[in-house]
Structure 1
């Protein structure tokens, strides 16, 4: 019997699932053993710490011939489904969770947890239950993309370490495997760099904060800030690695850098602006204060990145590269001299040179640059993005066009178009929605997101590593607001990047909604302050101040919905 998995509400939907025996279950109890084959020990630890804590079952160690829960890496599954693929077989004797690699076993364990019901997502038992039932059947599954990510903007509003760790668990629960941390911006520097202590002593704190979007007349007069020590970063990275999640750091250059310039004024264009008077920026938008293209600036950021590379072992380092105004470079005699010295045509080529320097610097150390799609611009060669270092990748945020251009130019791409997967945008057009910016993008809109543009050929489409959703935090000031903006849309996004779905609009949103009925209960158990299907709860409502305008420049109160 084929299963649509609506009864168990698996999110994301598995590739294939069917019942062995209609209505039959495997029962777990206090005697159930847990055997961890070679390479699966971390998943066994995770199961005892989560499922064991929620159910009250000890899950003592067993042998591979015992009944119980058996974890195993299978070369056969690796050949058939890849290293992140898995197969769960539940019959009357055991539950076998087999993966193509350690990550595959872990994703299978996440599905196993969902099969146990929402109470398996709590931190302690809420009912006395001697047995826990898992439906007998077989599930085979593997991800569509290798990059399934979420970006958290911890620079605009700082997110304490405990909240970041909670989001690592939420990513894992949705089989997402990349956490992109936006660590630096005009409004704050969030990572300790021991060689340059003023980056956090000064750059991590701002005097006050614009309340709402940049057109708002309101201010929160409380100082805001915070940063992660290097040990905090090591903890986050290790915690994520146990859950097969890679943490990608973003150090924004050459724009979005006023917090760094406030700490070290010599980093700015001091011959064009009084950099010594600059503080950490308190409002939002595109900032004119950008880094100087001097050799001393390059050395400074090389030193910063040396410490960053020690903390983040993943292959990619994100260097931003977006929204860099050129006015100060045009006004700076030193920047103009640099352009002439390098034989560049203009300031666009200067930005390309700046990022190209760090792309090559990273490549020499075995790492890969990734940046927003502006890094394709300003090439001194005829081919778009030809000056980028070998292996450089593009985060396509201004729509699909940057990703299409990058793939055609031979660069890998992560699709994150703002029109589809920017979660700071509203989930509905109602007056009760929190401070509205950007587009209205509903749960169904995100469910129908397609990361691979149809314009790409088969070979070009292989350049699409995957996709990520981005949570910018200008108007999202704390964990509850991040939860509201992110959920339940992250569940729909996870489905789009994990499951092999028909192309939009043929995707079965009705079936997804039916499965979400079970998933909302899991989010409740996890304590996620998501947006309910019927609209915001009373404490989640926060209409825009009267007269405020959205990011598209249209009035909010009394106007048609932003599209």
Structure 2
């Protein structure tokens, strides 16, 4: 078996029997499966050349064997029929359909293929398994000559462990054009991942069109140059960098993702990581201590000292931003809105007479209280509109409203504290699932950042800390891997950093939890041999097992390597 992620239960025929498809199999779609049938015809039909006509009367069977019967693929939705796959070990609350509703059952025998989902999502994930079983060429966009198609006799019962299985893609530091985002949605879906967290704003760029504030994209969406490598590097790329998504682009991205049962979580960062917005609208900054009119979109990496001013006018401005954002990301497909809330330097607030007066007026605990005031305001504002706020674990500082959720990035600590306090959590500790971190030691690794996090390291990641009580563990919605793009200037670099480690992460969040210490990397590594061929067919520029290819290296471009193991979290 070379399936990735590994299914909950797979029973292959001991004799190695296979179902041989004829030149024109038929497709039978039951009630509710019409959308899955359209996708199967479009995607599998492109690779095989099959038109997959609707099944007619008569018996199904192995038509290629000369029996007069017809090879068929049958699709259906029946929650009762796949209930044996069982729910995941953690709740899917708020992250879309729960794990049990994403279950599917797949049978291949002499009569053909029968695929049943507990829901449309479950049926869709079953289709991803079907494509893997057909082999790497099932991922191509046109049929190759001389190919024949067959499937092993098998019975599979499967369901995900978690309801939140995600990737955070930073499109603010280096912009990824719309077609690249759509491509990554397809790659997530192929790995049974169901959340795309888009980091849309930062000091280095604003990537979403807001019609009432046109300067956010006219000014804030591009920078004059970019540092090449880590911020200690003396190298610069003097080419202006920029881009943004129009509102129709984002509507398209959301709709495209929804068709593939992927939810898009937008992130607008407040009150830090905001220099691009302040460059566009200087009144958003702390004008009594900084000449904000002279600011430009930041061309360097790191954390800018230029943060939002703690004023009612700034709140009203960002309410306008979020009003337009909510229209682009409807609640039924994107219930969560990410507000960042991390890495907010307090120097300007300490020096600002206006900010200090605000501290006294609000009665908050100093500058940290101002940051909490920002977050709690938008927590209430979003809740009134039927949305849920999620933010990086710094939002715990100063208290958090009951409905807010936490992205635990500085290790497990923030997630543990949040879960024990009754908040939902997405685990994404930097020590385990930051995909901008280098994949191997040695000078050939391009732009080496932080600790070595190998394919095996990611595979051994456990989202639920053992010290959590059962009640708190139920608040772990799942996990996501994070891809920050300061040193990923194009699609090739993103592919290199994300893959193949995202395949290991996908198995962690989908497949059943093994007993402690028994996660079988040897089995996974063996299955990756076939999966690399799938990635090749998909055109993914992954890091090869033997190290970077010549064109994947970046000689002379400085990174930020840290020696030794990451600290325990």
Specify the TM-score bucket, using the shorter chain as the normaliser. Answer: over 0.9
Of 513, 529, 551, the match for 2:541: 529
Is the 1:450–1:503 contact (alpha carbons within 8 Å) kept by the matching residues of 2?
no
Of 41, 46, 49, the match for 2:39: 46
Of 438, 446, 455, the match for 1:443: 455
Partner of 1:352: 372
Partner of 2:554: 542
Partner of 1:422: 434
Of 72, 78, 98, the match for 2:76: 72
Are 1:108 and 2:126 counterparts?
yes
SS at 1:83 equivalent: helix
Which stretch shows the higher mean deviation, 50-59 or 73-82? 73-82
Are 1:336 and 2:346 counterparts?
no
Instruction: Give me the whole-angstrom Cα distance separating, in 2, the residues matched to 1:549 and 1:487.
Output: 19
C-alpha displacement at 1:549, in angstroms? 5.8
C-alpha displacement at 1:551, in angstroms? 6.3
Instruction: Give me the whole-angstrom Cα distance separating, in 1, the residues matched to 2:47 and 2:508.
Output: 29
Of 4, 10, 13, the match for 1:17: 10
Instruction: Give me the whole-angstrom Cα distance separating, in 1, the residues matched to 2:289 and 2:81.
Output: 61
Is the 1:258–1:290 contact (alpha carbons within 8 Å) kept by the matching residues of 2?
yes
Instruction: Give me the whole-angstrom Cα distance separating, in 2, the residues matched to 1:139 and 1:451.
Output: 25
SS at 2:102 equivalent: coil
C-alpha displacement at 1:30, in angstroms? 3.0
Count of residue pairs brought into register by the alignment? 538
C-alpha displacement at 1:77, in angstroms? 3.9
User: Residues 212-259 of structure 1, C-alpha deviation per residue, up to 9 Å, x if partnerless?
Assistant: 011111100000000000111011110100000000000000000000
Instruction: Give me the whole-angstrom Cα distance separating, in 1, the residues matched to 2:378 and 2:256.
Output: 28
Tell me the C-alpha RMSD between the 2 structures. 1.4
Structure 1 segments, 4+ long, off by >3 Å, are 63-66, 77-81, 560-563
Of 278, 286, 302, the match for 1:285: 302
C-alpha displacement at 1:44, in angstroms? 1.2
C-alpha displacement at 1:94, in angstroms? 2.2
Instruction: Give me the whole-angstrom Cα distance separating, in 2, the residues matched to 1:365 and 1:440.
Output: 42
Is the 1:396–1:415 contact (alpha carbons within 8 Å) kept by the matching residues of 2?
yes
Which stretch shows the higher mean deviation, 507-516 or 495-504? 495-504
Are 1:501 and 2:505 counterparts?
no
Are 1:405 and 2:385 counterparts?
no
Is the 1:253–1:319 contact (alpha carbons within 8 Å) kept by the matching residues of 2?
yes
Classify 1:123/1:358 alpha carbon distance in 2 versus 1 (closer, same or farther; 3 Å).
same
C-alpha displacement at 1:390, in angstroms? 3.0
Is the 1:103–1:244 contact (alpha carbons within 8 Å) kept by the matching residues of 2?
yes
Partner of 1:370: 390
Q: What are structure 1's unaligned runs of at least 5 residues?
A: 380-384, 553-559
C-alpha displacement at 1:325, in angstroms? 0.5
Q: What are the residue-to-residue correspondences of 1:131-530 with 2, within 5 Å?
A: 131-313=148-330, 314-377=334-397, 379=398, 385=399, 388-530=400-542
C-alpha displacement at 1:38, in angstroms? 1.9
Is the 2:82–2:157 contact (alpha carbons within 8 Å) kept by the matching residues of 1?
no
Q: TM-score, normalised by structure 2?
A: 0.93
